[in-house]
Amino acid sequence: MLLIKQCKQHQRQAQKRLYEELYPAAYRLSRRYVTCSHDAEDVLISAFIRVFRHLESFEYRGEGSFQKWVNTIVIHECLRFLSRYKPVIVEEDISFLTAEKDWDGDSSGCDAEEIMQILDRLPAGYRTVFNLYAIEGYTHPEIAGMLSINEGTSKSQLSKARNLIIEKLKERKSYGSA
């Protein structure tokens, strides 16, 4: 809390320290949305500018509230970037909603890097909705509003993302046992 207070007082060393503390988690978050590491870094520059510019408006609400506030800014900056430079193409087909693939749920042996590679290969629309819903915890109505799509499209994109992830995990598992 003291560090945030110092940052609000525009103390450059405190801002540098806060940036260095937040950067690793913010970078991982941005990479989930933006597949190119250079683009993810550009997004973070914009996000941190917003963080420091709007720090005065942040009100401490307990443990984790500052990190959540920063994460929200990073996510919104990722979505801005995607809409500006890498359009999130979503498909309106909702037939996948009832076509769930069977999977035993065993992803043992997968490390974070392998999962990140699978997510990186998802189409941008699938990856974005999957991240917002499954990882960040947004609801379909919230996602629909954020991406200017309808709720059914959000559900469809999530379903398709899950199916592709399951398919890639099955492929990985079958290659590993061969």
**Per-residue model confidence as pLDDT tens digits over 91-110:** 544 343 334 444 444 445 56
Structural domain boundaries enclosing 108: 95-177
Number of domains in the chain: 2
How far apart CA 117 and CA 144 sit, in angstroms, is 26
**% of the chain exceeding 90 in pLDDT:** 57
Q: Give the residue from 64, 85, 106 where a domain finishes.
A: 85
Q: Which of 165, 70, 71, 176 is nearest to 115 (CA)?
A: 165
In whole angstroms, give the CA distance from residue 14 to residue 86.
34
DSSP 93: -
- Do 81 and 100 belong together in one domain? no
CATH number of the CATH domain containing 163: 1.10.10.10
Per residue in 142-156, pLDDT (tens digit) is 999 999 999 999 999
Q: What is the CATH number of the domain that holds 56?
A: 1.10.1740.10
Residues 15 and 74 in one domain: yes
pLDDT tens string 23-37: 999 999 999 999 899
- Judged by average pLDDT, the poorest of 7-11, 137-141, 168-172 is 168-172
The answer on 99 and 67 residing in a single domain is no
